[in-house]
Structure 1
Amino acid sequence: MTSPIEKLREFGYELPAPKAPVASYVPVNRSGNMLYVSGQLSANETGVVTGLLGDNMNVVQGGNAAELAALNILSQIVHGAGVPLEDIKRIVKITVLVASTPEFTEQHLVANGCSNMLVAVLGDKGKHARAAFGVASLPFGAAVEIEAVVEV
């Protein structure tokens, strides 16, 4: 059986070090068997992926940005909360914020970048409820920010 980390590698990713908080909050908070992962930006080792959907980014680029945010969520679970990916019972819900123009209406397709990755890496445990909506801007000009509720 392929482990979640091996499945991440199939996507071409290694689990990165967690991103430090940029304001007065904790990146992941545990209450009982629930983890609440603060919004994770579309960022990698070279920095924040910036853009505005409907202006200078297309749906594919937005989906790739959402995939990076999903990777950062998994990093916070493992490194921030100290929970191995194998110990996740399920991803309960994600909330996807997409920096987009008022005319852009495909936030749900951008969110699929995160959703598809979570299911590919975690199987049925990665299936979740979600909300996806457009916002005028995100911190550091990020294209996508995603928060998650996770049962462990």
Structure 2
Amino acid sequence: MTSPIEKLREYGYELPAPKAPVASYVPVTRSGNILYVSGQISADANGVVTGRLGDNMNVVQGGNAAELAALNVLSQIVHMGGVPLDEIKRILKVTVLVASTPEFTEQHLVANGCSNLLVGVLGDKGKHARAAFGVASLPFGAAVEIEAVVEV
């Protein structure tokens, strides 16, 4: 059986080092068997993926940004939550914030970048409840920010 790390590599990713908090919060808190992962932005080794959907980004670019933010969520689970990917019991819920114009109405399609990666890497354990909505701006001009609730 293919491990979650191997599946992540099939997407062309290695699990990145966790992003340090940039304000007064912690990246992950735990209560019993539930992890709460603070918002993770669309960023990779090259920096923050910036833009606004409906302005200078399309749905495909937004989905790719959401995929990167989801990758950063997984990094926080492993590195700061201390839980290997194969020990995740279930991604319970993700909230996807999409920097977008007031006229843009396809946040749900952008959020699919996150959802598809989580299910692709974790299988049924990656299936989750979800909220996706547009916001005027995100920290550092990020295109997408994602927070998650995870059972371990």
Q: Aligning the two structures, in what range does the TM-score lie when normalised by the shorter sequence?
A: over 0.9
Q: Find the residue that maps to 2:120 and give its secondary structure.
A: helix
Partners of 1:28 and 1:109 in 2: how far apart?
27
Q: Find the residue that maps to 1:39 and give its secondary structure.
A: strand
Which letter does structure 1 place at the counterpart of 2:106? E
Match of 2:85 in 1: 85
Match of 2:60 in 1: 60
Query: How much identity, in percent, do the aligned residues show?
Result: 89
Match of 2:32 in 1: 32
Q: Find the residue that maps to 2:54 and give its secondary structure.
A: coil
Deviation at 1:24, TM superposition (A): 0.2
Please give the per-residue CA displacement for 1:100-147, whole angstroms capped at 9, x wherever unaligned. Answer: 000000000000000000000000000000000000000000000000
Q: Does 1:15 align with 2:43?
A: no
Partners of 2:18 and 2:29 in 1: how far apart?
14
Please give the per-residue CA displacement for 1:12-33, whole angstroms capped at 9, x wherever unaligned. Answer: 0000000000000000111100
TM-score if structure 2 supplies the norm length?
Answer: 1.00
Please give the per-residue CA displacement for 1:19-72, whole angstroms capped at 9, x wherever unaligned. Answer: 000000000111100000000000001110000000000000000000000000
Deviation at 1:93, TM superposition (A): 0.1
Point out where structure 1 has 5 or more consecutive residues left out of the alignment: none
Show structure 1 runs of 4+ deviating over 4 A.
none
Match of 1:119 in 2: 119
